[in-house]
Amino acid sequence: MTLSAHIIIDGHPIDVRRHRYECTWLFRPEDRVIRTRTKGERNQTIRGLPDDPKEWDEPETEYLYVVSADTLRQRLASTGRDRTSLELEFLRYTSAVFKSSSAPYFFRASYPATKEIALARARAFRDANLDDWLRALKVVKQSGLVYWNRHGKDAPADLLVDIVSGHDMPIFDATPPDRLVNGFPYASLGSMGITSGSGLNPPAHMLNGFPCTSLESMAVAMLEISPADAECVFDVSDFVIYGDDHSFDDLRMDRIQM
C-alpha cells in the first residue's frame, strides 16, 4: 500500500507526499485535529469511495493539521510569499517557457493531441495573464478536477482549465538528472521534447500546468480564490493509521480517556 499525505486548500489538493514526509511544511503541532466522518464523505480528489455502497455509512477517522485560509496566508506572508512574489514567479516561469524551442508542445506528452490543438494551447498560454490563470484555477477547484480523475473523459473545453488540470509540465534544466519527475528520471525526459534552458526547477506542487514552480506560490494562488475562513489541511491519516507516525499519540490517548 502506498502511503500518501496531502496538502489541501479549500477542498482541493495542491501537494502529495508519498511513502514518507519529512516535515509538516507551514503547519504546526497545535494545528492537529482528529476527526471522524463516514467513508461516503471522503474527499474524492484524494480518496475514492469504497466499491460497495454499503460501506459508505461506516465511520472513518482522519488525522489532520487544520488552519484557516487567513492563517495560512499570514504564515506564507511571514516567509515573504504573497501576491507580489507569485506575480514575479509567474513572470519568470512564463518567460522561461516562451524562450524554450519546445514551448508550444510542453504539455503534449500525455495528450494524443493534434498539432492544431497543441498550438491552440500554446496560444492560450501565451495570451493569458495571471488573473486568467487564477480564473481557470477556480474552475478546476470548483469542479474537483485533478489529472488522475480525468482519465477516460474529454479534455475540458477551456484551454487554460485543460492545462491546469492536466498531467504535463515544462521540465527545466536546473533539475538533477536522476530526480524523479512524475515517476520518470529527469534525464529521460529530454527525448519527450519537453526540456528548457531556464534554470528553473519543475513544479514542487501537483497542479503541474499552473504557471509557478514553488509550493508556496501555488498555495498563494489557491488562497487568492478561496474565502478567508476556508480550511487548509495537511492530511497525514495514512501514515498514522497504516505507518509508524506517532505524532498524534497524545491526542489519541486523550480521546481514549474521555
Q: Kindly report which listed range (2-6, 120-124, 196-200, 253-257) carries the lowest average pLDDT score.
A: 196-200
Over residues 40-70, the pLDDT tens digits come to 999 999 999 999 999 999 999 999 999 999 9
Beta bridge partners, 68, equal 231
250 grid coordinates? 497524545
Helices (H) and strands (E) in the chain, counts: 8, 9
Whole-angstrom distance, CA of residue 156 vs CA of residue 150: 9
Tell me the average pLDDT across 202-207: 88
Over residues 216-246, the pLDDT tens digits come to 999 999 999 999 999 999 999 999 999 989 9
Mean residue pLDDT across the chain: 84
Q: Which uninterrupted H or E stretch holds 195?
A: strand 195-196
Among left, alpha and beta (phi > 0; psi -120 to 50; other), residue 2 is beta
Of 213, 249, 257, the C-alpha closest to 34 is: 249
40 grid coordinates? 461516503
CA 131 to chain centre: 19
202 grid coordinates? 519543475
CA 112 to chain centre: 23
Q: What is the pTM of this model?
A: 0.85
Q: 26, 47 in Cβ contact below 8 A?
A: no
Higher-pLDDT residue of 21 and 37 is 37
Among left, alpha and beta (phi > 0; psi -120 to 50; other), residue 182 is left
Q: CA of 117: how far to CAs of 104, 123, 130, in Å?
A: 10, 10, 22
